[in-house]
Each structure stands twice: as C-alpha cells, then as structure tokens.
Amino acid sequence: MSSIDSTIQRITKTGEGETCAPELADGPWTFDLGVPSYGPGASMGDVIPTGAPRQGQLPLEYQKASNEDLHARIIAAKATLGDRAVILGHFYQRDEVVRHADFLGDSFQLANAAQTVPNAEAIVFCGVHFMAETADILARSDQAVILPNLAAGCSMADMADIDSVEECWEQLTEIYGTEPDADGRVPIIPVTYMNSSAALKGFCGRNGGIVCTSSNATTVLDWAYERGQRVLFFPDQHLGRNTAKKMGISTDLMPMWNPNKPLGGNDAKSLDEAKVVLWHGFCSVHKRFNVGQIEKARAEYPGVRVIVHPECPMPVVDAADEAGSTDYIQKAVAAATEPSTFAIGTEINMVNRLAAEYPQHTIFCLDPVVCPCSTMYRIHPGYLAWVLEGLVRGEVINQITVDDDVAEPARIALERMLAAKPPVATKEA
Ligand code: 13P
Ligand code: SF4
C-alpha cells in the first residue's frame, strides 16, 4: 500500500507525477504556527476566518518520531486504554491514521458510532472540527471528544458563519413573512449540511429546520418541503443544487445567496419565486473536478464507471454515471462483482485506499494532481500518539465542547434528521 504521504514524498523527490503543493511533504506541524491558514492542499487558496481554532506546537518528540515508532506508541497507548477510548476515522484520513481507527466511516456514520460506545470516556475523532462538535452534541455529557489537531477545520463549513446566516434569515423572513399557506406550510425552512458549525445546527433547531448529510439530502429536503414552501440551504451550494435538481426542481428557481451583496445578490422577484435559496459555499476538494477530466477518462477507459461526490459542481455530477456520499462510493466499489474500472471524484486518500483494497479493479482519481483535503491532512499519527498518551497519563488534550445553549437546539435539528431517516449501521474498520 502506498500511503498519500509516501506518494507526496516520491513526487516531491522524483518529479514523477504532480502534487498541488510540495509543502505537503513537510509534515502538518510545520503549518500549525505562523500565519493562520488552511495549510497546503485543496483549501490553500481559501481565506481562513479570523479566530478559527489553531493548534499550538506539537511536542518535538512526536514531530521527530518515525512512522514505525508512532505506530508502536499508538498501539501501546490503545492497549493500555482498552475500551476507555474509541478512535473514529473518516474515510478521508491518511492510512497511517485509519489503521488505528475502531470505526471508519462517513461523517454521519461516525456521529452514530460515537453513541454506540457507552464505556468510552474519550472519543478521539480523526476527522474535522464540525464532526467532533457533532459527536460532542450526541455523546453523553461525561464523554470527552478529542480532535487531535485543532487546526483540522473545514473551509466549506467556515464559509457560513452564524452572523451572516442570521442576517440572511432576517431579510428572507421580511420578504416571505411568517404566515403558513393553505396546506400549513411555513414560507421557508432552514436546512444545514452536516459540514457546518454547531452554531448553524443550533440555528436550524431554533427555526424549525434540520440537518442533512450527503447520504440523506433528498430525504431531508422531502421532509422540509412537507413543512415549508421553500428551503434555505447552507453552506454547500453544490450539494443543495444537485439534490434539488435530482428532485425535479428547475435551476431557475435556485437563486444563490452571497452574504456580501444586498439581498444576497438577487432581486425580490427571483427570491419570491425561489424553491431553494443556496448559500454560496463550496468544497475546494470537490471543486477541482471538471467535465474535461470525465471526458478524458471515458476516452482512455471505454466502459469506465464514473462516480463523484455530490459536493462536485452540477455539470460534473450531470456528466458522471453516479453521484453519492463517501459511503455510497465505498459500497458501489465493494459491490462490483466483475473486474471494473472506476474513475472517482472525491478526496485522494479515500480513492487510493479503495484502489489498494480492491486490486481486481482499476480505480483512479479523476484529478491526476495529488491534492488532499488541507484540513483532513492536518491529522497525522504524531498528533494521535500525543493525545492518546495524554489520556494514558489522565490528561485530556484538545477537547471539543459545545456549550449547552447551542448544543440543545443543534441536537433537535440532528434528531429531526435521524427521525427523517434511521441511522445507517456503522462499519467497523
Ligand atoms: P461525508 O458526509 O460523505 O463523509 O463527507 C464529508 C465531507 O467532508 C465530504 O467532503
Ligand atoms: Fe471540508 Fe471539503 Fe475537506 Fe470535506 S473535503 S472536510 S467539505 S474541505
């Protein structure tokens, strides 16, 4: 198995292949200090909000340790902790982290996994900040959720802040009023993608809204349209657009809201006719995929099956054979009985792992440039060893806590989602 780290080292040293940022070879701790940024990788061009959580210096012994040493230390710490600690790993994590995960899955499955470990005092979330917040909202109050590197945020989640969304909501409710129609449907329902801050989930809980993930977005939008005439969908414009289009809604009825412009950059008529108002956010990993890459894959591999994540822009989703969440992609590959060729439009760590796990298939990433998610990349086994050895000493490092006044309404919005569609079973790594 060739991990993403060794692939990037090889590209940097030999010039064979291309990586979006040679700095990826330096080790994530290099970017914890200095000017705040998302660091190298797909989000390196995005502007990080002031006040985004930062990670202090990782103790030098973990920076300098070899991968073998860190591997052995993590195993030893896990053995000492037993079921007092559980490690959750998102599909986009590097292999050196995933191999220690008790559960591997998408953000929704991992949130549920956190609830299935009653003996765990600590939930170590190898993913990004909004996932750890969600785990804390759903976990028991005496369980500590730990994010090994506090700089592991999400550039898309950061594109919608609570103040801008509150301001947008105020303007929209002024336009639409608050009176239900003859069927009892309120004028507008807020829907937030799981990839958002706890504050936004709380906003949805307080305003009759709901959370969705990429695996249940259609079910959730159905839920919303049963109760409302239209939807405000944030932060990901692409997931919102792709899902609404799949449900038969015309793209003419999907104005986009840019919080930096009056009325979000729209006129009153288009807002009045809207079926879904889309926040302007996007994922810089999935924005890298384009129709040209799909055409090239089809020309080079006749019969190729193109599967992309619904965070990709609409023309990419339209040109692909299928679109689905990380779990969908994983299951589609696992279910293929005949040797097949898959061109996949999602994060490179996951695509490379699928290629290694299923050697009977030809599996490659649509984007030939190796460009991981900048923030998933910030979790390295050095941080995992650090927080686990902290737990062995009785020290909780990098705890993520959501205050009750936010957690309570956020839990309501999450529970509405869980009730709209029962949880998918978690998958053990
Ligand atoms: P999933 O919900 O499919 O795990 O996706 C999370 C994510 O961050 C995709 O970019
Ligand atoms: Fe956020 Fe995109 Fe990274 Fe997912 S892949 S964590 S949406 S930046």
Q: What is the DSSP string of 257-316?
A: E-TTSGGGG--HHHHHH-SEEEESB--TTGGG--HHHHHHHHHHSTTPEEEE-TTS-HHH
Q: Which residue has the higher pLDDT, 118 or 271?
A: 271
Domain harbouring 248, CATH code: 3.40.50
Determine the average pLDDT of the residues in 353-358: 98
CA-CA distance, 146 to 87, in Å (whole number)?
Answer: 9
Last residue of a domain, one of 365, 391, 410: 365
399 burial class (0-12, 13-18, 19+ CB within 10 angstroms)?
A: middle
Question: CB 82: neighbour CB atoms within 10 A?
Answer: 9
Q: Please provide the size of the chain in residues.
A: 429
In a mutational test of the pocket of ligand 2, which residue from 110, 238, 284 has the highest number of ligand atoms less than 8 Å from its CB? Answer: 284
First to last CA, the chain: 16
pLDDT for residue 421 is more than 80: no
Which residues are CB-contacts of 267 (< 8 A; sequence separation ≥ 6)?
Answer: none
Tokens (6 digits) for 340: 């097949």
Reference 127, options 163, 95, 91; nearest CA is 91
Q: What is the pLDDT of residues 303-328, one digit of tens each?
A: 999 999 999 999 999 999 999 999 99
Which residues are CB-contacts of 126 (< 8 A; sequence separation ≥ 6)?
Answer: 87, 88, 89, 90, 93, 97, 98, 101, 148, 379, 384
State whether the beta carbon of 196 lies less than 6 angstroms from ligand 1: no
Is the same domain home to 8 and 137? yes
Determine the average pLDDT of the residues in 39-68: 97
Is the same domain home to 194 and 332? no
State whether the beta carbon of 107 lies less than 6 angstroms from ligand 2: no
Tokens (6 digits) for 134: 């969600």
> Quick one: pLDDT band at residue 1, thresholds 50, 70, 90?
low
Is the same domain home to 167 and 222? yes
In a mutational test of the pocket of ligand 2, which residue from 126, 346, 373 has the highest number of ligand atoms less than 8 Å from its CB? Answer: 373
Residue 411 lies in a domain: no
Block residue for tokens 């969440």: 325
Ligand 2 centroid–CA 79 distance in Å is 31
CA-CA distance, 65 to 58, in Å (whole number)?
Answer: 12
In a mutational test of the pocket of ligand 2, which residue from 48, 155, 236, 379 has the highest number of ligand atoms less than 8 Å from its CB? Answer: 155
CA-CA distance, 106 to 376, in Å (whole number)?
Answer: 13
Torsion region of 189: left, alpha or beta (phi above 0 gives left; psi -120 to 50 gives alpha): beta
Tokens (6 digits) for 320: 């692909």
Residue 425 lies in a domain: no
Is the same domain home to 74 and 144? yes
Is the same domain home to 111 and 131? yes
Minimum-distance ligand to the CA of 376? 2
Residue 416 lies in a domain: no
Residue 164 lies in a domain: yes
Reference 190, options 234, 223, 134, 241; nearest CA is 234
Is the same domain home to 52 and 118? yes
Tokens (6 digits) for 174: 């002024």
- Full DSSP string of 200-222: HHHHHHHTT-EEE-TTTHHHHHH
Q: Please report, rounded to a whole number, the percentage of residues in the chain having pLDDT higher than 90.
A: 92
Which of ligand 1's atoms lies nearest the C-alpha of 105?
A: 4
Give nearest CA residue, ligand 2 atom 6: 154
Residue 96 lies in a domain: yes
Centroid of chain to Cα 109: 12
Ligand 1 centroid–CA 183 distance in Å is 35
Is the same domain home to 117 and 10? yes
Is the same domain home to 315 and 256? no
Is the same domain home to 313 and 254? no
CA-CA distance, 255 to 232, in Å (whole number)?
Answer: 10
Give nearest CA residue, ligand 1 atom 6: 107
Block residue for tokens 């005439």: 229
Which of ligand 1's atoms lies nearest the C-alpha of 285?
A: 10
CA-CA distance, 272 to 3, in Å (whole number)?
Answer: 50
Write the DSSP symbol of residue 143. Answer: P
Tokens (6 digits) for 371: 């460009």
Last residue of a domain, one of 232, 262, 279: 279
Determine the average pLDDT of the residues in 171-193: 96
CA-CA distance, 139 to 158, in Å (whole number)?
Answer: 23
Residue 35 lies in a domain: yes
Is the same domain home to 210 and 270? yes
Is the same domain home to 117 and 226? no
Half-sphere exposure of 423 (CA within 13 A, CB side): 18
- Domain coverage including residue 125: 4-154+375-402
Determine the average pLDDT of the residues in 291-301: 98
As a whole number of Å, the CA-based R_g of the chain is 21
pLDDT for residue 115 is more than 90: no
The domain total for the chain is: 3
Is the same domain home to 300 and 174? no
Minimum-distance ligand to the CA of 373? 2
Minimum-distance ligand to the CA of 235? 2
Total-model pTM: 0.95
State whether the beta carbon of 195 lies less than 6 angstroms from ligand 1: yes
Residue 423 lies in a domain: no
Domain harbouring 339, CATH code: 3.40.50.10800
Q: What is the pLDDT of residues 217-241, one digit of tens each?
A: 999 999 999 999 999 999 999 999 9
**What was the pLDDT predicted at 58?**
98
Residue 361 lies in a domain: yes
Ligand 1 centroid–CA 111 distance in Å is 12
Helices (H), 20-66: 60-64
State whether the beta carbon of 325 lies less than 6 angstroms from ligand 1: yes
Determine the average pLDDT of the residues in 283-297: 98
Reference 99, options 122, 70, 128, 121; nearest CA is 70
Give nearest CA residue, ligand 2 atom 7: 283
> Quick one: pLDDT band at residue 426, thresholds 50, 70, 90?
very low
